[in-house]
Structure 1
Amino acid sequence: MTHASCEPARITEPDLIAIRDDLASREPIFHRPEWGSTRADFERMIAEGFWETGASGRRYSRAFVLDELERRYASPPLDDDWESCDFHCQRLAADIYLLTYSLRQGARETRRSTIWQRAGSDWKIVFHQGTIVQDA
């Protein structure tokens, strides 16, 4: 089996393109100061049951992530040298969407998955995972 034959099609349905683009503007999560940079901002963005699996494979709770974000933003953030691309959106259930994409940070590349939930006119992050593709 060739590598190309094992790849999923990953085609965003036409009726989900606007949602894909809206969610893509929020990624990578926690690195978009226009969406928030304070603990209160992040608490509004993150669903109560949120957790994530980092690129290290470690699982992190909502409370841990909020503490880390508060620490990170306590001093001026460094310029992040990153590029995100290859966004795909899939509806999982009513008002629940999976957004996947690739993130390049210098020589490091990760595949990212975020589960988003529509919350009225806003969005909440339910789950996030990063998986390393290559690391220099």
Structure 2
Amino acid sequence: MGLKEEIISLEKALLTFEVRRSAAKLGELLSKDFKEIGASGACFGLSKILEHIPHERDWSATTQDWDFRVLSEGIVQVMYKACIEKPGSATAVYSRRTSIWRLEGESWKMVYHQGTVVAPLAAACPPAAPTP
């Protein structure tokens, strides 16, 4: 697996509840100096993320249009589009997302993430299943 595929795989892992509900797994992927700027514009550090993320309710993410670039030795960035759907909600949330990953020792860790809400993206969400 190449570096691009490895980082995208790590990023996708952070969109799963297997990882999000485990403080230990989050700690393996998020740097101690992690920062996030949320859709609201608020900035969060690692402690706030570890306090909040494991208690999120179910939702699903569909991603597309992944881009990857090396910023410097041991620092990379991914960018992609996401569609977040919550059960029982008729409206999906669309966003453009970016993360910066840094090689810390032998492991890649996310040091920064930002999601910006945007208008609906073409083909970002699979068609809704017909209701019976």
Question: Which bin holds the TM-score, normalised by the shorter protein?
Answer: 0.7 to 0.9
Q: Which runs of 4+ in 1 moved over 3 A?
A: 33-37
Structure 2: unaligned runs, 5 residues or longer: 86-91, 121-132
After TM superposition, give the deviation of residue 33 of structure 1 in Å: 4.3
TM-score, normalised to structure 1, is 0.72
Aligned length: 114
One of 86, 96, 116 as aligned partner of 1:131: 116
Structure 1: unaligned runs, 5 residues or longer: 1-16
Residue 68 (structure 2) pairs with residue 89 (structure 1): yes
What is the CA deviation profile of residues 98-126 of structure 1, one whole-angstrom value per residue up to 9, with x for unaligned ones?
11000012432100000001234421010
After TM superposition, give the deviation of residue 34 of structure 1 in Å: 5.3
Cα distance in 2 for partners of 1:88, 1:20 equals 9
TM-score, normalised to structure 2, is 0.74
1:117 is matched with: 102
Checking the alignment, whether the CA contact within 8 Å between 1:49 and 1:126 is kept in structure 2 is yes
Checking the alignment, whether the CA contact within 8 Å between 2:20 and 2:54 is kept in structure 1 is no
After TM superposition, give the deviation of residue 67 of structure 1 in Å: 0.5
After TM superposition, give the deviation of residue 131 of structure 1 in Å: 0.5
- Secondary structure at 1:105 match in 2: strand
**Alignment of structure 1 residues 1-136 onto 2, 5 Å:** 18-28=2-12, 30-33=14-17, 35=19, 37-72=21-56, 78=58, 80-106=59-85, 107-134=92-119
- Secondary structure at 2:49 match in 1: helix
What is the CA deviation profile of residues 43-76 of structure 1, one whole-angstrom value per residue up to 9, with x for unaligned ones?
221111111000111111111001112333xxxx
Cα distance in 2 for partners of 1:61, 1:85 equals 26
Identity of aligned residues (%): 25
